[in-house]
Amino acid sequence: MGRILLLTIGAVCLANTALHAQAAEKDLVAKGQYIFAIAGGCACHTVPKETYHTGGRAFPIPLGTVYSTNITQDKETGLGNWTDEQIHDALVKGTRQDGSRILPVMPYVGYSGMAQEDLKALIAYMRTLKPVKKPTPELNTWVPWVRSVGIPLYLRVFVRFSNSPEQAPKSGIERGRYLVNHVSLCGDCHTPRNSLGVPNRSLYLAGASAKSGPLGEEVPNITPDKETGIGEWTREDIAEVLISGTKPDFDNVQGLMYEVIQGTPHGYKDMKREDALAIAEYLKSVPPIKNRIE
């Protein structure tokens, strides 16, 4: 009798533990989906109107053209047979499964400051992306040794990686700074680049012309300069554009900004208002820069 009771208790405990583990995994995936959303749905990995996350989008680089990769769980053409560690390293160090380098068009320099808790959740969510077989076109360039020599050299000369904290800041201006620089990567589009693709830090968030911006699009100045930036916008105005795409003049944003808001299908539009307001608060605190984008 006693033995049966013990066995029953044991079985109930085991089932309970399994349920807890399942619930914890579900929470982690939900959190990862949120990170994925406020990272703009990793929109660069989707060709507009094609199957989500299957890559193949062409990005012009100074040396040719690079194509975003298939990030679904397909074992052959996606990330299905990468370990969590390998995906982590791709996100924060820019290394591929074979150890060679990813071109810094993929914003691993920004993601290098993403918190470990968020990376872990993001990777758990990425594991749920349905496998779709679609090979990624090869890097197209006339320069030899780009991945083995060129990129490591570029990183050494031009790039400062960040440290990934254990936990992400939870609120206020620190939260805003964290999201802008390491998760939502506003500067990836709103900070102009030189002809080598290096961001011009003295024009941080001050907008880009069609030539210095991503994919040939003009990107507005979002520093608090009153004349050429968004100095006249309230925090609520900024939060509203991030969540709904509607500007204070009731116009809607277009192009790449529309893409990251709409997401794939998760995007900035899923952002909690408090996070959007934290971003707004941080944007209000950066130095205003006079830079008119026509």
Give the footprint of ligand HEC on this chain (CB under 6 A). Answer: 40, 180, 184-186, 188-190, 214, 217, 219-220, 222, 230, 238, 241-242, 247, 253-257, 260, 279, 283
| Nearest approach, Cβ of residue 230 and ligand HEC (Å) | 5
Closest to ligand HEC by CB, 56 or 229: 229
Strands 58-61 and 140-141: unpaired
| Nearest approach, Cβ of residue 261 and ligand HEC (Å) | 9
| Nearest approach, Cβ of residue 257 and ligand HEC (Å) | 3
Q: Is 196 exposed, middle or buried (0-12, 13-18, 19+ CB in 10 A)?
A: exposed
DSSP state, 6?
H
DSSP 47-82: -TTS-TT----EEEETTEEEEPPP-SS-TTTSSTT-
Q: Is the distance from CB of 292 to CB of 203 less than 8 angstroms?
A: no
| Nearest approach, Cβ of residue 158 and ligand HEC (Å) | 20
Q: What span, in angstroms and rounded, lies between the C-alpha atoms of 239 and 200?
A: 26
DSSP H or E run through 228: none
